[in-house]
Structure 1
Amino acid sequence: MGDDSKTPGMYRVYASRQDQGWQLSLPGIGDIWVRRLTDAVNAATSFIAERKGISRDQVGTQLSVELSADLEPERRASTEAHLKAKRAQDEAALAYRKLAKRLQESGISGAEIALILGVSRQRVSQLLSSTQK
């Protein structure tokens, strides 16, 4: 049903900036234009449903924004930096939970753990409860 998507009813929509708006290309269906990118999914869904003769709730879309050659490398780099920071944050949170648990297991009270870690007692409680899940 969809273009190159693996899920039936899913359609990829390619958006590219054009003068005063965005051109939406829907492979095998056609192209439309929207003024704002925030309108792209809604407009594409309506367009696909109309062209295919199906209801809007049978249409899923995946928006792929194509940036200019000077912006695309910057987007890739910032996305990678964001993902790297997220991974580091997840690893740090896990290390914090493990440390709080080890401190507790060694007989240190929650209030003392809070002082050691520089967090509130409530945060210590959260850290310890998340290690039990």
Structure 2
Amino acid sequence: MALYEVRARKWENGWELRVPDVGVTWSPTLGDAPARAREFISAQLDREERTVHVDLQPHVSEELDQLAVEARRALHIADEAVRTASAKLREIVQGLSAAGLPLPDVAQYLGVPQQRLEELLRD
């Protein structure tokens, strides 16, 4: 298997896909870009498509690219915080339930909607 860096740059007709040492193709959407790049690389290099992996690197502008990196980083941090909070809530709900509190009282005690607690317990 081979990994190819694919630099995607927005232009009026979609996305230009530049593959160093291979060539340039395009995709109408960013969502289609990985498949288009794989097809292009495999055709240019006479490789089976399943052996081609792409590292898609989209580019719009320096400012927007930097904002996208910051947004993805913030989302990752937020997702991690939600996972941590969910684990702590499951632990405290189990403890409070074991102490004899019914779920409506647990929800009131924690200030969390009962429906959310039920979802956490199902997960």
Q: Shorter-chain TM-score: which interval?
A: 0.7 to 0.9
Number of residue pairs aligned between Structure 1 and Structure 2 = 121
Contact 1:110 1:121 in 2 (8 A): no
Say which SS state the counterpart of residue 80 (structure 1) adopts.
helix
Q: CA RMSD in A?
A: 2.5
Q: Which amino acid aligns with 1:123?
A: E
How far the C-alpha of 1:121 sits from its partner, in A, is 9.7
Instruction: Kindly provide the amino acid, as one letter, of the partner of residue 65 in structure 1.
Output: P
Do 1:13 and 1:64's aligned partners in 2 also have CA atoms closer than 8 Å? Answer: yes
- What pairs up with 1:1-133 in 2 under 5 angstroms? 8-110=1-103, 112-114=105-107, 116-117=109-110, 118-120=113-115, 123=118, 127=121
- Indicate conservation of the 8 Å contact 2:103/2:114, yes or no: no
Aligned equivalents of 2:40, 2:47: Cα separation in 1: 10
Alpha-carbon offset, residue 100 of structure 1 = 0.8
Deviation at 1:88, TM superposition (A): 1.6
Higher RCO, 1 vs 2 (CA within 8 Å, ≥6 residues apart): 2
- Percent of pairs with identical residues: 25
Deviation at 1:32, TM superposition (A): 1.3
Stretches of 4+ aligned residues off by more than 6 angstroms: none
Scaled by the length of structure 1, what TM-score is found?
Answer: 0.74
Structure 2 residues without counterparts, runs of 5 or longer:
none
What TM-score, normalized by structure 2, do the two folds share? 0.79
The answer (yes or no) to whether the contact 2:104–2:114 under 8 Å persists in 1 is: no
Q: CA deviation at 1:108?
A: 2.7
Deviation at 1:31, TM superposition (A): 1.3
- Cα distance in 1 for partners of 2:38, 2:116 equals 49
